[in-house]
Amino acid sequence: MKTLTILYIGRNQEITDTMNRLLNAREEWKGITTCLEEEALVMVKDIPIDLVLLGNGISAAAEEKLRADLIRIRPALKIIQHYGGGSGLLYSEIMTAIA
């Protein structure tokens, strides 16, 4: 089974740290996290990322720009909003996005 590389972009460092732990707890996932949009763009250029999760706290204008920048770098990239919740919800969001 191929490992799914997931980038989480958030605004809150504590939540981002938790997401890093949750994403890397599953053997079939490789989680990468950041709170910085510029760092995320470099990661998408340099790392074969399968899915981007956008965390809470990103303004609508910032999210629109970030999505456009990510798609410009990698047009087929899947990007979804992660609303929080337990690991079961996270798993469901990810599996639905990659289906």
Q: Tokens 């989480």 appear where? A: 8
Q: What is the pTM of this model?
A: 0.93
pLDDT band for position 99 (50/70/90)? Answer: confident
* CA–CA gap between residue 31 and residue 28 (Å, rounded): 10
18-75 confidence digits (pLDDT tens): 999 999 999 999 999 999 999 999 999 999 999 999 998 899 999 999 999 999 999 9
DSSP H helical ranges for 1-99: 13-24, 37-46, 60-73, 87-98
pLDDT band for position 83 (50/70/90)? Answer: confident
Q: How many residues in total does the chain contain?
A: 99
Q: Tokens 């770098």 appear where? A: 73
> What domains appear along the chain, each with residue ranges and CATH number?
4-98 (3.40.50.2300)
